[in-house]
Structures are given as structure tokens and as C-alpha cells.
Structure 1
Amino acid sequence: MKSLQDALYNWLTIKVVCDARPEDSAAKETLEFFDDMLTNQHHVSNIETTTDEMMYYLSYQQGEEIKKARYPRELIEIMLDQINNEPEKYENYPTEE
């Protein structure tokens, strides 16, 4: 994924799912994938998130620079809404260890 904005968007979308569904192993693995991409490909660290009624706000460090991004809640929460509306399609399967 070449675009930092796309990687941040995908990371935030799956983070919202992980926060709402801490037992969801697929969501955790996907979040780890985007964490790794942000760290290794885009050199992003120290991501902080806040939200209000309309937006999610990110503050993050890229190299030595502090940067910010924002995303509409309706776009970020679409995956979680879909999971909540059709939970039978998103069953959590245990991981093999």
C-alpha cells in the first residue's frame, strides 16, 4: 500500500473493530498487519486517536515530524456497523496454537 493516508484509514478502521471486539482474532491479525506496514513502510510511530461526534483525529510521528489526519466517523465505523448488523457473517474462529 503506497499511500500513507490509505494505510492510516485501514489501520483506524480495523482498530475500531478491535476495540469493540477484543476477542476477534482476525481483526487483531489485521491490525498487526497495518501496524507493521505503518511502522516499516511509512515510518510512523506514536499514533494517538481522539474522536468527537463527527470525526476521528489521528496524531502521529513520522520520522522527526508530528503530523495529523482526520477521518469522518461514518467512513471509519462502516466495517464495525456491518459486523454488528450481520454478526453471523463475521463469526470469530479460534486461532490454532
Structure 2
Amino acid sequence: MKSIQDSLYNWLSIKTVADARPDDTAAADTFSLFDQLLKENHDIQEISVQKDDVMYLVAYKLNGEQKSSRFPVELIDSMIEQIEAEPEKYKNY
């Protein structure tokens, strides 16, 4: 099983893609799967995301306790930036 930090990183990375590409069914399906796995494997609830110029802050409840994790914007946004830079490689089928 992956760590909570790794799972949140993956969840947030695909969330940014799904949010930026609402017609991308693959991104939406992948986000849905990652969201389900995050909740089922780690019992995380009430997830919220805030972004500033430098970091993403993911707040959540774990076993009834409020927790948070931070991720650099440049790491999380790298996937959507790559897709936007070469859209011909990432067509929505």
C-alpha cells in the first residue's frame, strides 16, 4: 500500500488535469478511481484543496482528526503543463 503522501500526490496531480480538461473522460475516470482508492485505502474524508503561487495545500480528515499536506505547484502542475505543451499526444478518445 502506498503512503498517504504518495496517494495524495497522485490524487492531486490527476485532479488538476481533470479540472483543467472537463471533457477528458480518461482524466475524469482516473480521478474517480484515485479518489475512491484514497478514501477506501486510507479512510480520508472531507478533502479540500487550496493553491497559492508556490504550494498546494490539501486539507483532509483522517480518523476524525484534521490533517494537511503541502505539494509544490511546479510538481503538481507539471502533468497538465506537459499535456498543454503537446496536446496532439494527449487526445481525448
TM range (shorter): over 0.9
Deviation per CA, 1:53-72: give whole Å up to 9, x if none.
00000100112111000000
The runs of 5 or more residues in structure 1 that have no matched partner are none
More helix by share: 2
TM normalised by structure 2 equals 0.97
Aligned AA (2:56): Y
| Matching residue of 1:32 | 32
CA distance in 2, matches of 1:46, 1:58: 10
Corresponding residue pairs, total: 93
TM normalised by structure 1 equals 0.93
| Matching residue of 2:18 | 18
Matches for 1:2-81 after TM superposition, within 5 Å: 2-81=2-81
The runs of 5 or more residues in structure 2 that have no matched partner are none
Deviation per CA, 1:31-65: give whole Å up to 9, x if none.
01111111100000110000110000010011211
Provide the alpha-carbon RMSD of the alignment: 0.7
**Percent identity of the aligned residues?**
51
Aligned AA (1:48): S
